[in-house]
Amino acid sequence: MAVHFHEEDLPADVLAPGPVAVDTETMGLVTHRDRLCVVQISDGKGDEHLVRFANGSAYDAPNLKAVLADPARLKLYHFARFDLAAIEYYLGVLAAPVFCTKIASKLVRTYTDRHGLKNLVEELLGESISKQQQSSDWGAPELSEAQREYAASDVRYLHRMREVLVGRLEREGRMEIAQACFDFLPTRARLDMAGWADKDIFSHE
Ligand code: MN
């Protein structure tokens, strides 16, 4: 159980086969303005890998890109819409197929409007995580221990949460509609980047 820090790419062959949990840290929420600083990835076996990109990076990360683009590897996210856009914009790969714990939560936890990662980890797994470093400077020359631990914790629970959420989606008969939503997420991310970020093209207006 360790957090591994890498510069500019993932080493080869550090991940077990199967689904990977993925998250990103950026300079902000405007993808084309706010550069990608960190990609976190975990195979769910207890280790997390942080890949740090420097200011001015060429984002030439063949090992990481190969994992992200592998159509045989399911990618687990919490709010995939944002990460898919950042990854496609900066790394040039579509990091699908997708399972999104936030979408799954919205489809089954209809008794609450609290769908943040912290809420979900607490309710589904009975553990607590800190979101204190969420709005920190991910472009700093050195990432602090607190930042590294925070970044790692964002991918630490996604495999276990997927198990619980799939059980609930099946119980409520919503697995099929969830899957259709996951399959649409790359398109939703592309609409964000193409200028429809704040528009619901399905609404009458
Ligand atoms: Mn994060």
Average pLDDT rounded to a whole number, residues 85-112: 98
Contact 44, 18 (CB under 8 A): yes
pTM (global) more than 0.95: yes
Residue 88 backbone dihedrals phi, psi, to 5 degrees: -70, -40
Task: Give pLDDT, residue 134.
Answer: 78
Give the model's pLDDT for residue 1: 84
46 pLDDT more than 90? yes
Q: How far is the CA of 204 from the centre of ligand 1 (A)?
A: 34
**Domains of the chain as residue ranges with CATH:** 3-196 (3.30.420.10)
How far, in Å, is the centroid of ligand 1 from the Cα of 157? Answer: 12
Alpha carbon of 154 to ligand 1 centroid (Å): 5
Question: What tokens were used for 34?
Answer: 């706010």
Q: Residue 134 C-alpha to ligand 1 middle, in angstroms? A: 7
CA of 131 to the centre of ligand 1 (A): 9
Peptide bond into 97 cis (omega under 30): yes
Looking at residue 124, its pLDDT comes to: 97
Average pLDDT, the chain: 97
Mean pLDDT of 165-180: 98
The pLDDT of residue 131 is above 90: no
Count of other CB atoms within 10 angstroms of residue 49 = 23
- In angstroms, what is the span from residue 151 Cα to ligand 1's centroid? 6
Count the neighbouring beta carbons within 10 Å of the beta carbon of residue 17. 9
Tell me the CA–centroid distance for residue 180 and ligand 1, in Å: 24
Cα(83) to ligand 1 centroid in Å equals: 9
Mean pLDDT of 40-45: 98
Label residue 143 by pLDDT band (50, 70, 90): very high
Q: Distance from the CA of 23 to the center of ligand 1, in angstroms?
A: 5
Statement: residue 72 has pLDDT above 90 = yes
Q: What is the pLDDT of residues 180-190, one digit of tens each?
A: 999 999 999 99
